[in-house]
Amino acid sequence: MQALLLFLTVAALSVLASSPLLMRVGRAFGLAQLSASGLLFFVFGVAVGPLAMGVLDAAQVEALRPLIAIGLTVVGVLTGFNVEPRLLRSLPWRLYAAVVTQGATSLVVVAAGLFAVFYLTGALDGMVAALGAAALFGAVASVSSPHVGILGMRSGRLERREGLGLTLVAMLDDLWGLLALMAALALASAVSIPDGFGLLALAALLGLVCGLLLLFLTRAASNEEEVATLLLGAVMLVGGAAAYLRISTLVAGVVCGATLSVLGRQAAASHYKVLAKIERPVYLLLLFLAGPLFHPQTVWVWFVLPLFVVLRFVAKVAGGGLASRVGGGVIPPKTGWALVSQGGLSVCLVIEFLLLVPGPTSQLIFDVALLAALINEVLGARAFAIGFPPPARSMAPPAPEAN
């Protein structure tokens, strides 16, 4: 009963925290950014979990895993909706070149650096384990937070074109994270690499079938309530089936959302609006449920954490500058300073990996990624202030009054 009351309280707080009032930016840009990220819910989850107060014990946390899988499916479906053909075709090729350069720089620098550390020190068991862990750390490093661009526009530090450009770069960065997650799952989630890719193909097939089924059912829906019921039912079906089969809920959700976006055409916009209403409450609940899973068990957490943060920061700043030159100025030269915050998808990536491939290595990746997310949110606010300082106020004296 105590755990149920706590969960209902957090659910209510997640709805309140989704209010647009928290996105209004005043002088405390860092506080607004931290509130927008929702990572305070993760801190609350750690506080009530087995590591601290113990309100939620290990058995209760295990019982909540199906709910986590459904939340990951919601995130995946909404990410898949970003695969909008008309929008993607309208973007200039220079923007894609900049995104590829920026994301690849972060992924390669972080993955290569940590792979060298894991392999040379023998911290992980074998080269395949080291490669899989490094790939997932690269996935987390490549993902950026899109809310910085939005807050930058609202605070007046970014022009509308710059803010929208940064937001698009951060959204397209998600693709790098998903590709690296798929590589890590293929290396670690099955007996052999071909079996791992087979499980990924099964997840994609599940998402495709559910997306096609949902398209067929929603054609006969006559109002928004019926569409919402069908969408939520499809999300629960995809998440439940993927959790039962122990395949990737994120991959299944992304394929389902992409199917709806590509084939749904005009109906896709209404489908997205329905799910977008619950996106932030679901994400905040995911962050809270991730808190009790946090359990650093090895000293390697405190060794890898600063190394990951430093490598990612250097890669983001250097990759942003390189991406601006490759893209011919389509994004600001100091783009990397605005992409230091990790974003919500990075948290979902490590939750997914921990659920599918439980073990010491997965726990290490999860603990480091979650701590790094908190650090990078604070560091991201500082970096953004350096790269994009607030507009200077006019110091000109007032004009004298006419006699």
C-alpha–C-alpha distance, residues 323 and 334, integer Å:
10
Tokens of 57: 């014990």
Q: pLDDT at residue 26 above 50?
A: no
pLDDT band at 391 (very low <50, low <70, confident <90, very high): low
SS3 label, residue 382:
helix
Residue in 202, 184, 206, 167 with CA at minimum distance from that of residue 77: 206
Q: pLDDT at residue 228 above 70?
A: yes
Q: pLDDT at residue 4 above 60?
A: no
Please report, to the nearest 10 degrees, the dihedral formed by the alpha carbons of residues 232, 234, 239, 243 taken in order: 140
Which is higher by pLDDT, 258 or 389? 258
* Average confidence (pLDDT) over 289-304: 86
Per-residue model confidence as pLDDT tens digits over 37-61: 566 778 888 888 788 777 777 677 7
Question: Which domains are assigned to the chain?
Answer: 27-191+279-387 (1.20.1530)
Contact 255, 203 (CB under 8 A): yes
Task: Let me know the angle formed at the C-alpha of 156 by 155 and 157, rounded to the nearest 5 degrees.
Answer: 95
DSSP 8-class letter at 336: G
C-alpha–C-alpha distance, residues 303 and 293, integer Å:
20
Contact 198, 246 (CB under 8 A): no
**What's residue 82's pLDDT?**
77
DSSP 285-337: HHHHHHGGG----STHHHHHHHHHHHHHHHHHHHHHHHHHHHTTTSS-TTGGG
pLDDT band at 395 (very low <50, low <70, confident <90, very high): very low
Per-residue model confidence as pLDDT tens digits over 313-326: 999 988 888 888 88
Burial (CB count <10 Å: 0-12, 13-18, 19+), residue 54: exposed
Which is higher by pLDDT, 184 or 328? 184
pTM to 2 decimals?
Answer: 0.82
Residue in 138, 117, 119 with CA at minimum distance from that of residue 128: 119
Q: pLDDT at residue 120 above 50?
A: yes
**What's the distance, CA 40 to chain centroid?**
16
DSSP 74-106: HHHHHHHTT--HHHHHHS-HHHHHHHHHHHHHH
**What's the distance, CA 288 to chain centroid?**
15
pLDDT band at 205 (very low <50, low <70, confident <90, very high): very high
Phi then psi for 77, rounded to 5 degrees? -60, -45
Q: Which residues contact 255 (CB under 8 A, 6 or more apart)?
A: 80, 203, 204, 206, 207, 208, 211
